[in-house]
Amino acid sequence: MTKKRVAILISGRGSNMMALVEAAEAPDYPAEIVMVISNRPDAAGLAWARERGIPALGLDHKRYESREHFEGQMQSALELAKVDIVCCAGFMRLMTAGFVDQWRDRMLNIHPSLLPSFKGLHTHARALAAGVKIAGCTVHFVRSEMDEGPILAQAAVPVLDGDTEDALADRILNLEHRIYPQALRILATGQAVIEGERVRFRVPVNQMPPLISPSV
C-alpha cells in the first residue's frame, strides 16, 4: 500500500493533529504524517511533533510582508516534502484563494459545529445561545470562503440541559478526535469524490467503516 503523504497545519496545541498522528501510526492506515507547520513558532504542537520524529516548521506569519509571501514559504515547504494532502487542525489563519486553489480537493479542515451553522469563532457559545438541541463537528474540503466547502463527514451530540460552553466543547472535541482520522482515511483511500460541490462516496456508506462508533 502506497500511503498518502500528509501535512498538518496548526496554530496551538494541536489536539486534532495528535489524533491524526496517533491514527497514522497504525500499519494499515493509508496516510503518513510527514510534516507539521504552524504560523506560531511557539505553538506547543510543534514540540510534540518533533518528539515523535515528525519534521515540524514554525513560520511566524507576522514576519512576512504579505499573506501571499507567508503562503509562498509554506507552499515551498509542502512541495519539498512531497505532500499529497493538507489537514488544517486549529490553523487560525484565513488563506488566500490562490493558495487554496493549489490544494483544491486535497485540503481538509475540521470545524466545531454542524456546518453550515455557526461558521467562524465562538461556535459553542453561539449554539447554546441559539438553543439548538444538537451540536457537533464537521470535516470539510477547504474553499477560500471561511468554513465553506463540500462536507466529507459530520458527527453530532445532544445539547444537554445545563450545558456550559466548556462542557459542550469537551464532548465535541472528543468527537473531533475520532471523526477526523476516519475522514482522512476515506480521502486517502480514494473513497470520496466531489461532484458539484457535494461529496459522493465510491462505495455504499453501509460498506464503509463507521465514522463514529454506535455508542455516540
Instruction: Give the total residue count for the chain.
Output: 216
Q: Which of 111, 124, 140, 177 is catalytic?
A: 111
Q: Tell me the C-alpha to C-alpha distance, in Å, between residue 83 and each of 6, 150, 169, 200.
A: 6, 21, 31, 24
Q: How far apart are CA 46 and CA 61, in angstroms?
A: 15
- Give the other-Cβ count within 10 Å of 175's Cβ: 21
- Asked whether the beta carbons of 144 and 105 are under 8 A apart, the reply is no
- SS3 state at 81: coil
* 69: annotated active-site residue: no
Question: Angle at CA 87, nearest 5°, toward 52 and 39?
Answer: 75
**Which long-range contacts link 39-47 to residues 24+ away (Cβ below 8 Å)?**
39/9, 39/11, 39/70, 39/91, 39/92, 39/93, 40/11, 40/12, 43/10, 43/11, 43/12, 43/13, 43/14, 44/12, 44/13, 44/14, 45/10, 45/12, 45/13, 45/14, 45/17, 45/18, 46/10
Q: Tell me which residues are annotated as active site.
A: 111
